[in-house]
């Protein structure tokens, strides 16, 4: 019968539930009553008898003593209710007492048996628990031995035999069937370590103490492994050493890691000591824990002395305060920082040292100090100073060379200016001599035969034509120099091109095709219309002269936006582009380089003045734009004229005023330093029925003003001899006579152009006719009707 079988199954491990105990009790009592009923008859079934005792035993074993007493009480109650079943002739009370005693003993004995069985079951289970714990502990021990490669050994000192754990066999690379003894272990120890192991064993037997030892063993496959052996010597009752127990631990991986670390440290130290720079490692408190050979050599100290050395002892006094401050700030920042100062080397020489310190952190991320490196930069400092000195010398020499170059360039520019002035003077003289020849010759012929009216009119027309050509020539010169006083106004470029088309076609002639292609509708530019038309005419005439019979000229326009640097010398912005393209002979690079020079021309003598393109260039630059040319020999030329676009709305054209008739006579103060011009203007004013007062300059003007003589109009030349201009005289006159009408007059404004433009009076440009003068007077007097009303 096993412990898991009856009676252990009859006795529950824990107290049974009430209903379970009650059910078993009723079943046991019913079984006892049934047995008595079968044997003695059912009328006697409930009587008192021994058939109840097995039921008491069963009830007590299952439910405990309390349920046994309850069964006994139930049997007595049933017996009392069936007295007829009692034996005849025996005392009824005696039977009840005997049954009660026998039943009670049965319950007590059954309860004792139950308690014994329960204790036995508890002991069995405790034993099972202990064995299980022991098995688990042994399993954990074996696991720990296997995981840590810990092998157990037990050595009998007297016999030399021993017992090895499976892990120890594995640590030795042996099959577990091999005998375990000291001799077999020594045979496997590396020859270099064998004697040392033997001496440790002898000392253990002699002294009773076994010191830990690490040694190498050679496995049967030839591989070498490291073992750590620890043991304890055991004595008998008489104090004799009889046994030794201990462990052998495989420390091969740790030993190899240690060897690798030691080799790495050796390589690091060798590398650090061979480096020509100072290297060190410091702790978190700043104390050095490593320094290389260069560090030691710089200090002239031993390794231990260098680790304790205070660098402030060799720091230059002038650098000490700064370095201390920078070092405290750098170490507090826990970031990379550098220092540079002068330190005194062991031989007494001051050297510039530049150091860099990098923070280092431990495995847990805690700050553990700095690692540093320092360079001797003394030679670099000296080289830097030498280089600065050389640069200073070089800068002086370069400055001198630049000054010489500037002088040479200035001389060259002066020579170029003289050449240009000579060329300009010759060209101007040539053209003006031709014009003066016509004028002087015409006037001479008129003077010789004044009575010939037809010839006189013809000569007058020739002289006037030559004078007007001189006027245009002067305008071209001023436009090139950008001194011409333009009268810009908002105009639609396409409208100007359309209105100029008839004149352009007459200039081109029948042999050359002229194509007009305006394509900038609504594009407005601020230009002087006369100068614009003259510029386009010059471009078309140049193109005509370059195109052979049957060629073509195309004039087109377009609105465009220029980026910075897209066209040389023209700033970025919004422009109207006018292009004159021809299919002529084209130009080479040398010609294009001089094409805008005044009086430069490739035409035959007498065919052109060389001022056409220079006028175009001056007009475009003065208008805020520019000119560009694309050309190549045999491929024609395209001249692009760029004019800034404007948002101003053009005003409607006013009808030209008719020739001014003689009006009411005015008292006019004429200030003119040129006597001949003054005589001519005086004649014009008198012919217009005006009274003229003459002043040949600023001094004469002041004398006239001082006399207090009354006059109605001031007509003054803009440029006067001396520092004062006509604008200054006008201001003085208006200050003395508020509301006085003033007309400024000049053929060349030069540097006074800005003051003339800012003045509140009109500018009458020379040369002008009597009609031009009359219209100017009429316009200025129309704006000041009160000027005549104040006359006496």
**pTM score, whole prediction:** 0.34
pLDDT of the residue at 150: 74
Beta bridge partners of 744: 716, 763
Give the residue carrying structure tokens 């150091």. Answer: 355
- Cα distance between residue 295 and residue 301, in whole Å: 9
Are residues 653 and 677 in contact, defined by beta-carbon separation less than 8 angstroms?
Answer: no
Tell me what the mean pLDDT of segment 312-333 comes to: 89
| 253, two tokens | 């991986």
Residue 382: C-alpha distances to residues 317, 373, 377, 394, 396 (Å): 20, 21, 9, 18, 21
Residue 373: C-alpha distances to residues 211, 352, 355, 359 (Å): 45, 14, 6, 12
> Could you give the percent of the chain with pLDDT greater than 70?
79
**Sign of the CA dihedral running 81, 83, 85, 91:** positive
Say whether pLDDT at 33 is over 80. yes
pLDDT of the residue at 423: 47
Under the banding of pLDDT at 50, 70 and 90, the label for residue 480 is very low
pLDDT of the residue at 274: 81
> Could you give the percent of the chain with pLDDT greater than 90?
9
- Cα distance between residue 16 and residue 446, in whole Å: 165
Among 145-149, 324-328, 506-510, 540-544, whose mean pLDDT is lowest?
A: 145-149
Tell me what the mean pLDDT of segment 336-340 comes to: 91
| 4, two tokens | 């898991």
pLDDT tens digits, 200-216:
888 877 887 888 888 88
- Cα distance between residue 227 and residue 232, in whole Å: 17
Residue 309's SS3 state is coil
| 523, two tokens | 């594009």
pLDDT tens digits, 145-186:
555 567 777 777 777 777 777 777 787 888 776 666 667 777
Taking residue 658's Cβ as centre, other Cβ atoms within 10 Å add up to 8
Give the residue carrying structure tokens 């600023």. Answer: 698
Among 135-149, 177-191, 317-331, 758-772, whose mean pLDDT is lowest?
A: 135-149
- Cα distance between residue 102 and residue 497, in whole Å: 152
Say whether pLDDT at 742 is over 90. yes
Taking residue 649's Cβ as centre, other Cβ atoms within 10 Å add up to 9
Say whether pLDDT at 661 is over 50. no
pLDDT of the residue at 136: 64
pLDDT of the residue at 631: 84
Under the banding of pLDDT at 50, 70 and 90, the label for residue 482 is very low
- Cα distance between residue 632 and residue 586, in whole Å: 5
- Cα distance between residue 243 and residue 205, in whole Å: 9
- Cα distance between residue 772 and residue 768, in whole Å: 6
- Cα distance between residue 394 and residue 83, in whole Å: 150
Give the residue carrying structure tokens 């640069």. Answer: 391
| 224, two tokens | 């070498």
| 671, two tokens | 């200030």
More confident residue, 145 or 298: 298
pLDDT of the residue at 648: 82
Residue 398's SS3 state is helix
Are residues 229 and 248 in contact, defined by beta-carbon separation less than 8 angstroms?
Answer: yes
Say whether pLDDT at 594 is over 80. no
Q: What is the rounded (10 degree) CA torsion for 505, 511, 513, 516? A: -10
- Cα distance between residue 439 and residue 464, in whole Å: 8
Residue 717's SS3 state is strand
DSSP 524-590: EEEE-HHHHHHHHHHHHHHHHHHSPTT-EEEEEEEEEEEPTTSSTT--SEEEEEEEEEE-S----HH
Are residues 742 and 718 in contact, defined by beta-carbon separation less than 8 angstroms?
Answer: no
Backbone angle region of 277, left / alpha / beta, with phi > 0 → left and psi within -120 to 50 → alpha: beta
- Cα distance between residue 423 and residue 432, in whole Å: 14
Selection from 551, 462, 446, 559 nearest residue 509 by Cα: 551
Instruction: Spell 516-534 as b/e; 16+ CB within 10 A means b.
Output: bebebeebbbbbbbebbbb
Beta bridge partners of 557: 518, 578
Taking residue 773's Cβ as centre, other Cβ atoms within 10 Å add up to 21
| 562, two tokens | 């220029």
Instruction: Spell 274-310 as b/e; 16+ CB within 10 A means b.
Output: eeeebbbbbeeeeebebbbbbbbebbebeeeebbebe
């Amino acid at each position: 019968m096993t412990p898991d079988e009856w009676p252990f199954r009859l006795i529950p491990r824990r107290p049974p539930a009430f209903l379970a105990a009650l059910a078993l009790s009723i079943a046991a009592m019913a079984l006892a009553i049934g047995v008595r009923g079968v044997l003695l008859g059912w009328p006697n079934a409930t009587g008192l008898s021994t058939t109840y005792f097995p039921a008491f035993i069963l009830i007590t074993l299952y439910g405990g003593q309390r349920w046994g007493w309850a069964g006994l009480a139930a049997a007595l109650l049933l017996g009392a209710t069936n007295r007829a079943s009692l034996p005849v002739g025996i005392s009824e009370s005696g039977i009840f007492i005997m049954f009660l005693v026998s039943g009670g003993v049965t319950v007590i004995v059954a309860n004792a048996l139950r308690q014994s069985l329960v204790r036995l079951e508890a002991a069995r289970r405790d034993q099972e628990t202990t064995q299980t714990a022991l098995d688990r502990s042994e399993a954990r021990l074996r696991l720990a031995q296997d995981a840590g490669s810990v092998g157990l050994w037990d050595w009998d000192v007297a016999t030399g035999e021993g017992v090895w754990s499976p892990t120890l066999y594995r640590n030795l690379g042996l099959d577990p069937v091999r005998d375990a003894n000291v001799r077999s272990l020594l045979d496997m120890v590396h020859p270099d370590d064998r004697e040392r192991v033997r001496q440790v064993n002898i000392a253990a037997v002699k002294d009773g103490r076994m010191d830990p030892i690490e040694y190498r063993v050679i496995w049967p496959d030839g591989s070498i492994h490291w073992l750590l052996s620890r043991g304890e010597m055991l004595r008998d009752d008489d104090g004799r050493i009889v046994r030794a127990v201990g462990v052998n631990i495989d420390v091969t991986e740790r030993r190899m890691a240690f060897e690798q670390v030691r080799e790495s440290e050796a390589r690091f130290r060798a590398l650090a000591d061979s480096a020509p720079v100072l290297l060190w490692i410091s702790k978190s408190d700043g104390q050095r824990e490593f320094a290389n050979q260069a560090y030691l050599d710089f200090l002239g100290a031993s390794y231990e002395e260098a680790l304790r050395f205070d660098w402030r002892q060799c720091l230059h006094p002038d650098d000490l305060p700064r370095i201390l401050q920078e070092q405290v700030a750098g170490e507090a920042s826990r970031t990379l920082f550098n220092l540079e100062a002068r330190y005194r080397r062991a031989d007494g020489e001051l050297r510039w040292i530049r150091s860099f310190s990098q923070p280092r952190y431990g495995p847990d991320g805690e700050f553990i100090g700095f690692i540093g490196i320092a360079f001797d930069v003394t030679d670099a400092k000296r080289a830097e100073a030498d280089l600065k000195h050389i640069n200073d010398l070089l800068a002086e020499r370069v400055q001198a060379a630049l000054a010489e170059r500037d002088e040479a360039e200035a001389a060259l520019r002066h020579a170029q200016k003289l050449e240009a002035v000579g060329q300009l003077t010759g060209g101007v003289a040539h053209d003006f001599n031709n014009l003066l020849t016509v004028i002087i010759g015409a006037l001479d012929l008129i003077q010789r035969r004044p009575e010939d009216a037809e010839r006189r009119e013809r000569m007058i027309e020739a002289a006037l034509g030559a004078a007007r050509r001189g006027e245009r020539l002067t305008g071209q010169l001023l436009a090139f120099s950008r001194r011409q006083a333009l009268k810009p106004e908002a105009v639609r470029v396409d409208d100007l091109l359309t209105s100029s088309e008839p004149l352009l076609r007459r200039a081109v002639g029948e042999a050359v095709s002229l194509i007009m292609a305006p394509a900038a509708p609504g594009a407005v530019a601020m230009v002087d219309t006369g100068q614009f038309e003259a510029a386009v005419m010059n471009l078309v005439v140049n193109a005509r002269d370059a195109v052979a019979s049957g060629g073509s000229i195309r004039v087109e326009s377009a609105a465009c936006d220029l980026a910075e640097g897209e066209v040389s010398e023209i700033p970025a912005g919004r422009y109207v582009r006018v292009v004159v393209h021809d299919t002529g002979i084209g130009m080479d690079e040398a010609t294009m380089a001089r094409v805008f020079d005044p009086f430069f021309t490739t035409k035959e003598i007498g065919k052109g003045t060389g001022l056409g393109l220079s006028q175009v260039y001056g007009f475009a630059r003065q208008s805020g734009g520019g000119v560009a040319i694309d050309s190549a020999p045999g491929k024609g030329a395209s001249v692009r004229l760029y004019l800034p676009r404007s948002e101003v709305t053009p005003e409607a054209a006013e009808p030209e005023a008719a020739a001014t008739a003689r009006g009411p006579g005015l008292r006019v103060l004429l200030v003119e330093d040129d006597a001949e011009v003054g005589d001519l203007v005086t004649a014009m004013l008198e012919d217009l029925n005006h009274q003229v007062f003459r002043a040949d300059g600023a001094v004469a003007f002041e004398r006239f003003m001082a006399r207090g003589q009354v006059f109605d109009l001031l007509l003054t030349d803009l440029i006067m001899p001396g520092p004062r201009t006509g604008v200054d005289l006008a201001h003085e006159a208006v200050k003395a006579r508020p509301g006085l009408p003033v007309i400024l007059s000049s053929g060349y404004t030069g540097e006074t152009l800005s003051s003339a433009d800012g003045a509140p009076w009109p500018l009458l440009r020379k040369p002008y006719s009597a009609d031009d003068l009359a219209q100017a007077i009429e316009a200025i007097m129309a704006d000041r009707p009160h000027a005549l009303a104040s006359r006496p």
